[in-house]
Amino acid sequence: MKVPYILKKTIVETCRFFLGLVFLFSGFVKAVDPMGTMYKNLDYLSAFGLDIFNFTALPLAFAQLAIEFAMGACLLLGVFRRFHAILFLAFMCFMTPLTLYLAIKNPVTDCGCFGDALIITNWQTFYKNIFLLAASLVVFFEYKQITPFFYKKKLPVILFIYVFILSVSVYCYMYLPILDFRPYKIGTNITELMAIPEGAPVDEYETTLIYSKDGIEQAFTLKDYPKGDTTWTYVDTKTQLIKKGYESPIHDFSITTEEGDNITEDVLADSSYTFLLIVHKLEGAADSRIDRINEIYDYCIQNNYKFYALTSSTSNKIKEWKEGTGAEYPFCIMDDIALKTIVRSNPGLLLLKGGIIINKWPNRRIPEEKALEQPLEKTQWGQIPPNHKGRNIRLLSIGFLLCLLSFFLYDRLKKE
C-alpha cells in the first residue's frame, strides 16, 4: 500500500524535528556544564576499568557536546541531509545496545545524557533510545523528504554552529555554568533542601543469610533461616536495596573538622556570613589566586565572619597546601562528589548566610581585597545578585537565531 505523500512528509518531518530537538537540547545542557559531562565520563571510565584513559574525559566532553548540538542543529536546518541521516542512524545503532547493557548491568546510576537538567534512569534512557532509533530509521530511508533551509552556504553554517557551542562551553568551563541545574544555586536554602518530609517513604532492603550444610550453600530470609540448628554453618549476609525511598535534593552536605567533629548544623544555622573555600582535590587545585584567598581570610578575621576550607584530600595534602600557600584558615572534610556539585571550579568560593547561598565565585573571579573594604552588609558581595540567567539565555538564543537568519537570507539571495 502506497503511503500518501502528505502523510509520509508529515511523518518524516516529525521524526526530523524530534531527533533534532532532542540532540540540540542534550548538547546545550552539556555545553553549559562541561565539567559535569567530564565527571560523568570519568564515572564511565572507572566503571569499565579504563582509568588509564582519564586524561581523555575533558576533551571527550567538549567533543560530545559539540557533536550532539551540531547534529541536532544541522538536522533541524536540513544541512547535508544524507550525511546527517547516516550519522544519526550510526549513532543510534551504537547507543541503543550500549544503553541496554547499562540498564541491565547498571555500572553507573544514570546515563548523564541530559546532564543535570533532566536525570533519568538507565532503563528510561534505553526506552528513549528505542524511539530515537525508530525516528533515525525513518529519516535515513526518507531523508529526501526533509525540507532544507540552506542550499549553498552549508559549510559556513556548520562552522558557525560549532564555534558558537564551543564558545559557550569554554566560557562555562573557565567560569561557572550560565545555567545551574544543580541544587546549589545562588539563593538556595540548603537547610530546606536537606529536610525530609514527614511520612516520606524510606529505603527498603532485603537481607539474605547464606548458610552451608554438607558443603552446599543455601540462601535464607530473616524469617526462615535455620536459627538454633547447629547442622548449618553461617557463611555470609547480603543486603540488597529493593525499593528506593525519598531522597532530599541535598543529601550529602556534611562538614567534618580534621578532629572529627561534625559542624554542619553550626555552619548552616549561623545568622552571620560564612565563607566556604571549595577545594575538592588540593593536588589538582589552581593556585593563581592564593593571595586573594588569604586576604579574604584576613578580612573574615577582622569582621568576625567564619571561613572554612572544604576538601576531600588527605591530611598530608592539607599539610602540604598550608606549607606551600601560607594558609592559616581551618580545613574541614567533605564528600568529593558533593564538593564537585557545589562549585564547578577547583578552587571555588561560596558565601553562606543562615544556610542560604548568597553568592559563589570560580577561581578566576574571586573578589579582590579592595572590593571587601567594608563589612559584607554594605557591599554588593553580601547580597544575592539579580538573577539574569533567563535574560542571558534569551539574548544568547536570539543572537544565535539572528546569525542563522543572516546566513539564510544570504543563501537565498545567492540562490536567486
pLDDT for the residue 213: 85
Provide the pLDDT confidence category of residue 125 given band limits of 50, 70 and 90.
very high
Provide the pLDDT confidence category of residue 86 given band limits of 50, 70 and 90.
very high
Mean pLDDT of 259-271: 92
Provide the pLDDT confidence category of residue 18 given band limits of 50, 70 and 90.
very high
> Looking at 217, 243, 269, which one is the last position of a domain?
243
Around Cβ 1, how many Cβ atoms within 10 Å?
3
Mean pLDDT of 141-169: 88
Same domain, 80 and 222: no
Mean pLDDT of 151-172: 89
pLDDT for the residue 415: 56
Residue 248 lies in a domain: no
Q: Name the residue range of residue 138's domain.
A: 5-175+395-415
Same domain, 159 and 298: no
DSSP state letters, 336-363: HHHHHHH-SSSSEEEEEETTEEEEEEEG
What residue type is assigned to position 382 of the chain? G
Same domain, 372 and 405: no
What residue type is assigned to position 323 of the chain? E
27 versus 370: the higher-pLDDT residue is 27
Residue 251 lies in a domain: no
CA distance 173 to 61: 11
Provide the whole-model pTM.
0.85
Are the C-beta atoms of residues 44 and 108 closer than 8 Å to each other? yes
Q: Is the pLDDT of residue 292 over 80?
A: yes
Mean pLDDT of the chain: 89
Place of cell 584576613: 298
pLDDT tens across 181-190, in order? 899 999 999 9
Same domain, 317 and 274: yes
pLDDT for the residue 106: 83
Same domain, 139 and 208: no
Residue 272 lies in a domain: yes
Helix (H, G, I), strand (E, B) or coil at 194: helix
Same domain, 11 and 121: yes
Place of cell 567594608: 374
CA distance 388 to 273: 24
pLDDT for the residue 388: 64
Residues forming beta bridges with residue 239, ordered by sequence position: 207
pLDDT for the residue 2: 64
What is the side-by-side order of every strand in the sheet holding 356-362? 256-257, 331-333, 306-311, 273-278, 348-353, 356-362
Segment 327-331 long-range contacts (CB within 8 Å, at least 24 positions apart): 327/290, 327/293, 327/294, 327/297, 328/294, 328/297, 329/277, 329/297, 330/257, 330/258, 331/258
Tally the domains of the chain.
3
Same domain, 20 and 168: yes
Mean pLDDT of 264-286: 92
**Best CA proximity match to 33, nearest among 151, 140, 179:** 179
pLDDT tens across 316-327, in order? 999 999 999 999
Kindly compute the dihedral angle of the four CA atoms of residues 173, 154, 114, 177, in this order, to the nearest 10 degrees.
20
Provide the pLDDT confidence category of residue 287 given band limits of 50, 70 and 90.
confident
Q: Is the pLDDT of residue 416 over 70?
A: no
Residue 270 lies in a domain: yes
What residue type is assigned to position 346 of the chain? N
**CATH number (domain holding residue 365):** 3.40.30.10
Same domain, 219 and 268: no
Mean pLDDT of 362-376: 86
Q: What is the CA radius of gyration of the chain?
A: 27
∠ Cα 159 164 168 (to 5°):
150
pLDDT tens across 39-66, in order? 999 999 988 888 899 999 999 999 999 9
pLDDT for the residue 286: 86
pLDDT for the residue 216: 84
Same domain, 356 and 411: no
**Best CA proximity match to 145, nearest among 35, 256, 3, 274:** 3
Same domain, 274 and 232: no
Same domain, 239 and 335: no
Taking CA atoms, 16 is separated from 26, 132, 408, in Å, by: 15, 10, 19
Residue 41 lies in a domain: yes
Percent of the chain whose pLDDT exceeds 70 = 97
Q: Is the pLDDT of residue 265 over 90?
A: yes
